[in-house]
Amino acid sequence: MEFEPKILGIACNWCTYTGADLAGTTRLQYPQNLRVVRVMCSSRINPSFIFRAFQLGADGVLVGGCHPGDCHYNTGNLYARRRLAVTRKILEFAGIEPGRFRVEWISASEGNKFAEVVREFTEQVKNLGPQTKFKIK
């Protein structure tokens, strides 16, 4: 049986989540491996969410936020950018494949981009195989 990765999506309410809605209403096809959690802003994402997601069995984590400059709260995603960059480095140094964690800026009008990113990311995680390092046995 082909490996179907579990992917956690954390999407900002104002852009990416709305973008995902748009992808849905325009009936764009994208893989079902993504489970989306909505947060009010990408800067609300506590890096521990991501560590915990990997521990609880996520094979990949995709974070979506507004394009820098478009944040509903003006500067939220600019903080998030720095913070998540560090998260990425930490995961990498701890030995998690960097391909399992991705941050994308997707606006509310970019339903296409959302579907495309999910397709691409799912494929990438699929190639990496199951994430076993952090996962609690």
Partner 1 sequence: MSINFKQIEDKLKTEARKLLEEGKVSIVLAYGKGYDEKKPMPYVVRKTSDIENIVFNEYCTANMARYLVRYPRGTKIAIAVKPADSRAVVQLIQEEKVKREDLIVLGIPVYGMKNFKTGETIDSKTTCGIYNPVLYDILLGEEVHGQPVVSPYDVLVDYEKMDKDGRWTFWKKELDRCIRCYACRKACPMCYCDPCFIDQNKPKWGEKSPESQGNLMYHLTRFHHLAGRCIDCGECSRACPVDIPLYLFHKKVAKECEEMFGQAAGMKIEDKPALVNFRVEDSDKILE
Residues of this chain that interact with partner 1 (CB under 8 A) are 47-48, 51-52, 55, 68-69, 75, 78-79, 81-90, 92-97, 103, 105, 133-134, 136
- With respect to partner 1, which residue has the nearer C-beta, 23 or 45? 45
Question: In whole angstroms, how close is the CB of 45 to partner 1 at the nearest point?
Answer: 12
Question: In whole angstroms, how close is the CB of 24 to partner 1 at the nearest point?
Answer: 26
- With respect to partner 1, which residue has the nearer C-beta, 21 or 83? 83
Pairwise CA distance, residues 48 & 65, whole Å: 18
- With respect to partner 1, which residue has the nearer C-beta, 21 or 55? 55
- With respect to partner 1, which residue has the nearer C-beta, 29 or 95? 95
Task: Name the one residue in this structure whose structure tokens are 């984590």.
Answer: 61
Question: In whole angstroms, how close is the CB of 53 to partner 1 at the nearest point?
Answer: 11
Question: In whole angstroms, how close is the CB of 131 to partner 1 at the nearest point?
Answer: 11
- With respect to partner 1, which residue has the nearer C-beta, 6 or 28? 6
Question: In whole angstroms, how close is the CB of 112 to partner 1 at the nearest point?
Answer: 19
Nearest one of 107, 105, 119 to 28, comparing CA atoms: 119
The three-point CA angle 119-125-130 to 5° equals 140
Q: Where are the alpha helices (DSSP H) in 56-129?
A: 76-94, 111-128
Q: What is the DSSP letter of 66?
A: P
- The b/e string for 14-26 (b: 16+ C-beta within 10 A; e otherwise) is bbbbbbbebbeee
Pairwise CA distance, residues 84 & 77, whole Å: 10
